[in-house]
Amino acid sequence: MSEAHRTTYRHGELRETLVAVGVEMARNGGTDAVVLREATRRAGVSPNAAYRHFADRQELLLAVSAVAQGIAADRMVAAIAEFEPTGDAATDARNSLRGVGTGYLAFARDEPGLFRAAFSVPDDLANAHSSAKAGADGRTPFQILGDVLDQLCEAGVLPADRRVGAELLAWSSVHGLGMLLIDGPLRGFTPEMAEVTAQRLLDMVQRGL
Amino acid sequence: MSEAHRTTYRHGELRETLVAVGVEMARNGGTDAVVLREATRRAGVSPNAAYRHFADRQELLLAVSAVAQGIAADRMVAAIAEFEPTGDAATDARNSLRGVGTGYLAFARDEPGLFRAAFSVPDDLANAHSSAKAGADGRTPFQILGDVLDQLCEAGVLPADRRVGAELLAWSSVHGLGMLLIDGPLRGFTPEMAEVTAQRLLDMVQRGL
DNA sequence: ATGTCATTGTGGACAGTGTACACATGCTCA
DNA sequence: TGAGCATGTGTACACTGTCCACAATGACAT
């Protein structure tokens, strides 16, 4: 991560190092804490070296954001896995949807800095499938949500005519709560209050989707 | 707003001026665009003069945020007023809820900078009723939403046992969509796509609440 | 009317930021 | 071996938030 002094003139892995350091900075402090000069300092390199790998700070931010989304994806699949299969496709699908939401919100709570870095850095939906944003199993958060919605659809829980675009509805709800909890007026909620609200929100989504 | 040179040594309304200028800066560029030095410059005053009225930049930001919330409140009541009373309490209440959401999202779309300033500056829910955040009719966005939910409850649309905390659920959904539309991956949605998604989201909330 | 004093604004300074330009180094391949 | 390109360095600029000591002003007690 932070090799303060190196022997070779060439660093060799500067880009990767800068991203890794950036992620660490984002972890506490969020997007604003990702400071280009500080990152190069920790990488043991002059400030301008970064510009050989990123056009500007924003581009570094995008790379950090992608990594953070991958971490979020891992949280989500882990939360899905918490539910044991019941054998009933409908119940399993519903549980998976709940897992997606719970994982997303757990990520927001446990890693608020990474959460903001992951989901409030401007980026187009068109890139939502870019592999850089994928978790360990190769799926991005958006894809995971999509797969669960498909599952819900196949199980007959979600009417087919409501399937398209359902990602955005579910995502909006959960994302909004996440933001309000860490940056907004719901900051200061105890973990218990947050959990209760989260489960109620997921109930609402399930009913309303 | 920007009286570059004044005659008196005392400005007289520096605090108000700085906030007004801050709002203008937030309007294009959001929170990050609220720059203390630039604000004092536009107010025709030395940078440090600001520190007689705000402990630091964050405190200025809070004041700007409060004003922005007031503007949001106005949008919301305007959107509610768009629906003509039908005479049926249940329908009217549902329309009002839709108005709240539509107004909130219209504000996000038309004034993304102010929207972010209004709702992503850290502040406790405890202060959600502070009069500084109120719109022209004296109610804050949070209060407006609460009133509509009460209305929904009285009309028998919303079961009483789901009333408490319902603000947070509705708010989360709409807030999330707003954030995704302006800062997140849904940026680049055409106004039409955004509108369709918004209406579907409001359908979901209404069903699920 | 005068003198005291808290309030409000000024000037200068410091550390820190992103980024542009010119230059140095060293790996790769003809 | 030498040319050229990719990568890292140094210096510089404009800008930021904030600290400190000082100056102007108006209000109020004497």
Report if residue B7 sits inside a domain.
Answer: no
Min Cα separation B27/chain A (Å): 18
Task: Examine the pLDDT at A4 and tell me if it is beyond 70.
Answer: no
- In CATH, what number is assigned to the domain containing residue B50? 1.10.357.10
Report if residue B4 sits inside a domain.
Answer: no
> Any chain B CB within 8 A of the CB of A33?
no
pLDDT class of B5 with cuts at 50, 70, 90: low
Other CB atoms within a 10 A radius of the CB of residue A32 amount to 13
Report if residue B5 sits inside a domain.
Answer: no
Report if residue A156 sits inside a domain.
Answer: yes
pLDDT tens-digit profile of A111-156? 999 999 999 888 877 888 889 999 999 999 999 999 999 999 999 9
Report if residue B191 sits inside a domain.
Answer: yes
Residue-level pLDDT at A5: 57
Burial of residue A126, with CB atoms counted within 10 A of its CB: 0-12 exposed, 13-18 middle, 19 or more buried: exposed
Residues 15-74 of A with CB under 7 A from strand C: 35-38, 47-48, 51, 56-58
Report if residue B199 sits inside a domain.
Answer: yes
Report if residue A41 sits inside a domain.
Answer: no
Number of domains in chain B: 1
- Domain range for residue A143? 70-208
Do B147 and B139 touch, CB atoms closer than 8 A?
yes
Phi, psi of B15 (to 5 degrees): -55, -50
- In CATH, what number is assigned to the domain containing residue A190? 1.10.357
Which of the nucleotides lies closest to B58 (Cα–C1')?
A: D17
Rg (CA), chain B: 19
Report if residue B6 sits inside a domain.
Answer: no
User: CA B53 → CA A209, B8, B17, B48, B59, distances in Å?
Assistant: 48, 18, 11, 10, 9
The residue in chain B having the minimum alpha-carbon distance to the alpha carbon of residue A183 is B122
pLDDT tens-digit profile of B46-56? 999 999 999 99
Q: What's the rounded Cα separation, in Å, for the pair B204 and B44? A: 50
